[in-house]
Amino acid sequence: MSSVQTIEVHTAPAYEVTIGAGLRRDCGARLKAVLGGCRIAVAADSNVAPLYLETVCASLRDAGFETAEFSEGGVLLHAMRQKLPDAVLLDWMMPGQDGIAVLRTLRGDPATRPVPILMMTARADEVDRVLGLEMGADDYITKPFSVKELAARVRAVIRRQEYLSAAG
């Protein structure tokens, strides 16, 4: 029987913006390798839960992804003007622009519109899940969640985007 690892939010004061190293790789060429090495931008409020952001990124790296960490939506938007990730994990509640405002901005820009976006948030009410999806999120996962499930969902949205890109 395998154990399921979950991530829980813990409150602690801190502020840090860390951008992970590594070059973007072409994930289309890596589908056969289960999408290893794809670059995932992870935006979450590290003021509220600094270990949460670190744990999510470490788990994604363990699953074979490269990560770039952002503790504010505005910093993520600026970085995406420089280089697009293969997918974005976006928390709803962040300082400055919240995740929904960032989502709206990303979906409104033709350059970032095709990038798969997964909302990962403590906002678990049906109205919040529906709003996130209706605003353009490709998937929505609520905290706490299994890191194995998170990695599988990231792979699924990237795979779906690769299929759409190949077909169009």
Residue 27 has pLDDT above 70, yes or no: no
What is the value of pTM for the model shown? Answer: 0.78
> 């697009």: which residue's tokens?
84
Q: What pLDDT is recorded for position 36?
A: 56
- Which whole number is the average pLDDT over 100-108? 97
Q: In the structure, what pLDDT confidence band is assigned to residue 120 with cuts at 50, 70 and 90?
A: very high
- Residue 12's pLDDT is 27
Phi/psi at 26 (nearest 5 deg)?
-80, 105
Q: Mean per-residue pLDDT for 137-153?
A: 94
Tokens of 91: 């928390």
The string of pLDDT tens digits covering residues 67-92 is: 999 989 999 999 999 999 999 999 99
